[in-house]
A and B are shown apart, each in its own frame.
Chain A
Amino acid sequence: MISLSDIPARGGSPFTPAIGLFALLLLTAPFWMESVGLYQYLGIEIAIWILFALGFNLLFGYIGLHSFGHGAYLGIGAYAFGLFQQEVAVSLWGGIAIAIAAAALAGAIVGAFVSHRRGIYFALMTIAFGQVFWFAAIKLHSVTGGEDGLLGIPRPDLALGPWHLDISDNGTLYWFIAVILLLAVIALWRLVNAPFGRVLQAIRQNETRARFVGYNVWLIKWLTFTLSAAFAGLAGGLFAMAQESAYPDVMSLHQSGLIVMMVLVGGGLVSFWGPVLGVLLYFIARDVIGGITETWLLWFGLMFMIMVMVRPEGLAGLFHVLRQRFAQSQPKTIASTTNPGRA
């Protein structure tokens, strides 16, 4: 089986062809989305989930900690954003900062409990903590609004120094979220291709050896958990703004399982871009199959099962294998000096 470490890291500049293609698609999407039968809001939703999935993959794919309760941090970010807007001040940057801080704090606390575990016990502990947060969100009626959640969260203006831009309609909100996503993607790409990213992969491959080499494994696991929760919080803040509400449903085990499914189907275990493919596939499946039949989740679930059975490396793994086959059939094209880069 191939893994992330089999595809050589590039290091250096994040401005690769893949990121260029991603930016191109992201920034031109509003101009062609409607002509292929999609709609503006879907773009916002996909961008937010890509952000969530990429942050999640730091934990899932890179350091190999399989969290099944990550929806909780998205939810915490969303609630923090909403509560800040409703109780403190209507401010975009304040809300986003609070969303990130709240999710990172929750992640840091949970991380302190789970970071000395691995494997299935880690997964089970994250499920338990995820359920605690989900349960609290439903039961703390006076703070979170119970099952209905917080409603009527405003979309604050974008304040850049003296300028105030109104981003309350879906068109302009998309641009804001796209820029945030692009910055986050560059930051994450840089992070995982830095020495830090190599340490994460070393821990995934063999925790004991990484410890013997001298790394503080617990600290790195805890840091990654917190960082990943912070990205989920950022996605959650944007989610609350897009939905104009925050509700406990996103924190349920079901949603936390779906994000694992998306990352895995896309190939988060073998490629940085895997989660992006997975999120795209999920939302396109939801809208295309969902347009044909009510029971689209049945077909998505079956597709997922087949994927786990025959190609657990996901879509990105499939591309990688196909490319290798292609390269083998033309042996002259691979010189020993060429660096294929990360797909």
Chain B
Amino acid sequence: MIELVPHIINGLTLGLLFALIALGFTLIVGVMEVINLAHGSLFALGAYFALATIGGEWFGSTDIGVWWLSLPISMRYVLALFIGPLLAAGAGMIIELCLRPTYGKAPLYGLLLTFGAALVIEEIVRLVWGTGEQSLTVPQVINGAFLMGGLIFSKYKFFAAGFALIAIGGVWFFLERTPYGAIIKAGSHDSEMVRALGYDLSKLRLLVFGFGAALAGLAGIILTPIWGLRPHVGLDVVIPAFLIIVIGGVGSFWGAVLAAVLVGLSVGVTGAYLPAWSMMSMYLLLIAVVGFRSRGLLGRKSALEN
């Protein structure tokens, strides 16, 4: 049993990372009832924007570029943590504008439109940054490894898991404890009433989509140092994200977090025995959970079922 401990710790950190990926996805599904298949592409886009920010690609080799690169890496990294998600949010808002004609029609069209958007973003990334594998440099402070109980752990993984915890707490606080969160939740519950109360629903949707996209971009910056960065990383990421949403129950915040931790644990523990099949365990978990509880662990009724 004791030899399982590192795998469980690994699984838990992985679960928190999965939760970070799923946060923006669950926000958009819950509020707008759109399955955003471009979520993974926004994730990649955030990471690529951060790459460009850290590497100073925006300025080229001008004076500003030289000055920029002379700044300490940790400063550039922290700035990238803001600029990447912000630009991803911009891309998300463009997608939301394109989504508008599909509101009120079958949810299928939102899914299809975002699938098209995912293709387009992936091709743009290929065009701008090339098809090869890239790596995001992180500051020395959070790089490297440390020993705990005779076992080697990566410092960065713990940083990422801690970051994920903070992000989960932050989003929870925003949704549950601020007036903006109340409006967003009301908008998903009864959009007509929210409109009648004088809130601009289209603006609200634009902002929610932008916020979800920013979370995707943030997850991209935090996760790509672990998983690597390539143009099609989006597809590898969107699949776990929606598996988690379905297992947790569409639109449920804590359901998504719980499901992410479960998926992380199952991948981590299967990895101990059958490493080649570890990713398969999440699909089997999905089929098992949804086979018994059709709305997922903590799901509620949703318009997406029709």
Give A contacts to B, CB under 8 Å.
Answer: 1, 66, 113, 116-121, 123-125, 127-129, 131-132, 135-136, 139, 253-254, 257, 260-261, 264, 295, 297-298, 300-302, 304-305, 308-310, 312
Most buried by A among B102, B111, B250, B304: B111
Task: Mark interface residues in B78-107 (1 if CB within 8 Å of A CB, else 0).
Answer: 000000000000000000001001100101
A295: chain B residues at CB < 8 Å are 123, 126-127
A66: chain B residues at CB < 8 Å are 108, 111
Contact A308 B116 (CB under 8 A): yes
Contact A261 B116 (CB under 8 A): yes
- The reply on B64 being an interface residue by CB < 8 A is no
**Number of contacting residues on B, CB 8 A?**
42
Q: Which residue of A lies closest to B123 (CB)?
A: A298
A120: chain B residues at CB < 8 Å are 35, 107-108, 111, 250, 304-305
Q: Which residue of B lies closest to A295 (CB)?
A: B123
Q: How far is the CB of B242 from chain A (nearest CB, A)?
A: 6
Most buried by B among A127, A129, A300, A302: A127
Most buried by B among A120, A129, A260: A120
Contact A304 B235 (CB under 8 A): no
Q: Which residue of A lies closest to B246 (CB)?
A: A124
Q: Which 4 A-B pairs have the closest CB atoms?
A: A301-B119, A298-B123, A120-B304, A305-B116
Q: How far is the CB of B97 from chain A (nearest CB, A)?
A: 10
Q: Which residue of A lies closest to B302 (CB)?
A: A120
A sample of 16 cross-chain residue pairs with beta-carbon separation below 8 angstroms, ordered by A number, consists of A113-B287, A118-B306, A120-B305, A124-B35, A132-B284, A135-B283, A136-B280, A139-B277, A253-B239, A254-B235, A261-B112, A298-B124, A304-B116, A312-B102, A312-B105, A312-B109
Contact B107 A135 (CB under 8 A): no
Q: How far is the CB of A17 from chain B (nearest CB, A)?
A: 31
A1: chain B residues at CB < 8 Å are 105
Q: Which of B16-65 contact A (CB under 8 A)?
A: 35, 37
Partner of B276 from A131, A139, A253 at Cβ < 8 Å: A139
Partner of A132 from B35, B101, B283, B306 at Cβ < 8 Å: B283
Q: Which residue of A lies closest to B242 (CB)?
A: A124
Q: Which residue of B lies closest to A122 (CB)?
A: B305
Contact A121 B304 (CB under 8 A): yes
Bound CA–CA A97/B221 (angstroms): 50
Q: Which residue of B lies closest to A133 (CB)?
A: B283
Contact B98 A305 (CB under 8 A): yes
Most buried by B among A117, A139, A297, A305: A305
B124: chain A residues at CB < 8 Å are 298
Interface SS of B by simple majority: helix
Contact A127 B119 (CB under 8 A): no
Contact A119 B306 (CB under 8 A): yes
A119: chain B residues at CB < 8 Å are 107, 304-306
Bound CA–CA A127/B126 (angstroms): 25
B126: chain A residues at CB < 8 Å are 295
B102: chain A residues at CB < 8 Å are 308-309, 312
- The reply on B115 being an interface residue by CB < 8 A is yes
Q: A132-B283, A135-B283 are in contact. Are A121 and B116 (CB under 8 A)?
A: no
- 11 further A-B contacts with Cβ under 8 Å, apart from A117-B294, A125-B287, are A119-B304, A120-B250, A128-B287, A129-B283, A295-B123, A295-B127, A298-B119, A298-B123, A301-B116, A308-B113, A312-B105
Q: A131-B239, A309-B102 are in contact. Are A121 and B291 (CB under 8 A)?
A: no
- The reply on B117 being an interface residue by CB < 8 A is yes
B283: chain A residues at CB < 8 Å are 128-129, 131-132, 135
- The reply on B183 being an interface residue by CB < 8 A is no
Q: How far is the CB of A63 from chain B (nearest CB, A)?
A: 13
Partner of A121 from B117, B246, B276, B284 at Cβ < 8 Å: B246
- The reply on B201 being an interface residue by CB < 8 A is no
Bound CA–CA A128/B246 (angstroms): 10
Q: How far is the CB of B215 from chain A (nearest CB, A)?
A: 21
Q: How far is the CB of A68 from chain B (nearest CB, A)?
A: 8
B294: chain A residues at CB < 8 Å are 116-117, 121
Contact A118 B305 (CB under 8 A): yes
Task: Mark interface residues in B263-303 (1 if CB within 8 Å of A CB, else 0).
Answer: 00000000000001101100110110011001000000000
Contact B116 A128 (CB under 8 A): no
Contact B111 A123 (CB under 8 A): yes
Contact A298 B243 (CB under 8 A): no
A128: chain B residues at CB < 8 Å are 243, 246, 283, 286-287, 290
Q: Which residue of A lies closest to B126 (CB)?
A: A295
Q: How far is the CB of B224 from chain A (nearest CB, A)?
A: 20
